[in-house]
Homo-oligomer: A and B are copies of this chain.
Amino acid sequence: MSPTAPAPTGAPTPARPGEPRLLVLKIGGSVLSDKQGTGQTDFDAIDAFAGQVADLVAGFPGRVVLVTGGGALCHPVGLRIKADRQDPYAAVALTEPAFTMRWAWTTRLRARGVRAVPLQVTSMFGEHPDGTPITETAVVRRLLAEGALPVLSSDCVVTAAGTLRILSSDHVPALLTAEEFGPVRIVALTDVPGILTRGPGSAVLRHLDPDDPTAAERLFWPTDAWDATGAMAGKVEALAEHARRGAECVITRGDRAAEDLRHLFAPIAEWPADTAYTLISRQWSPS
A residues at B contact (CB < 8 Å): 1-3, 7, 86-89, 92, 95-96, 99, 103, 106, 110, 115-126, 128-129, 134, 136, 138-139, 142-143, 145-146, 148, 156, 158, 162, 164
Q: How close is A157's CB to chain B, nearest CB, in angstroms?
A: 8
Asked if A110 and B128 make an inter-chain contact with CB atoms under 8 angstroms apart, the answer reads: no
- Using A92-B106, A106-B95, A138-B136 as known contacts, say yes or no to A123 and B119 having CB atoms under 8 A apart: yes
Chain B residue numbers with a CB within 8 Å of A115 are: 88-89
Chain B residue numbers with a CB within 8 Å of A1 are: 87
The answer, among B88, B95, B103, B134, for a CB contact under 8 Å with A138, is: B134
- Using A2-B87, A92-B106, A158-B146 as known contacts, say yes or no to A134 and B124 having CB atoms under 8 A apart: no
Q: List 19 A-B contacts (CB under 8 A).
A: A2-B86, A3-B87, A7-B162, A89-B110, A89-B117, A92-B106, A92-B118, A95-B118, A96-B103, A99-B103, A117-B156, A121-B123, A123-B139, A124-B136, A126-B138, A126-B142, A136-B138, A136-B139, A142-B158
Identity of the chain B residue whose Cβ is nearest the Cβ of A3 in the assembled complex? B89
Q: How close is A205's CB to chain B, nearest CB, in angstroms?
A: 36
Copies in the complex: 2
Identity of the chain B residue whose Cβ is nearest the Cβ of A124 in the assembled complex? B123
Asked if A117 and B162 make an inter-chain contact with CB atoms under 8 angstroms apart, the answer reads: no
Kindly list 4 other residue pairs between chains A and B, CB separation below 8 angstroms, not including A2-B86, A3-B89, A123-B124: A3-B87, A124-B124, A129-B145, A146-B158
Chain B residue numbers with a CB within 8 Å of A95 are: 103, 106, 118
Chain B residue numbers with a CB within 8 Å of A92 are: 106, 110, 116-118
Asked if A134 and B139 make an inter-chain contact with CB atoms under 8 angstroms apart, the answer reads: yes
Q: How close is A242's CB to chain B, nearest CB, in angstroms?
A: 21
Chain B residue numbers with a CB within 8 Å of A110 are: 89, 92
Asked if B122 and A122 make an inter-chain contact with CB atoms under 8 angstroms apart, the answer reads: no
Asked if B116 and A139 make an inter-chain contact with CB atoms under 8 angstroms apart, the answer reads: no
Chain B residue numbers with a CB within 8 Å of A88 are: 3, 115
Chain B residue numbers with a CB within 8 Å of A143 are: 158
Chain B residue numbers with a CB within 8 Å of A89 are: 3, 110, 115, 117, 148
User: Bound state CA distance, A7 and B163, in angstroms?
Assistant: 10
Asked if A120 and B119 make an inter-chain contact with CB atoms under 8 angstroms apart, the answer reads: yes
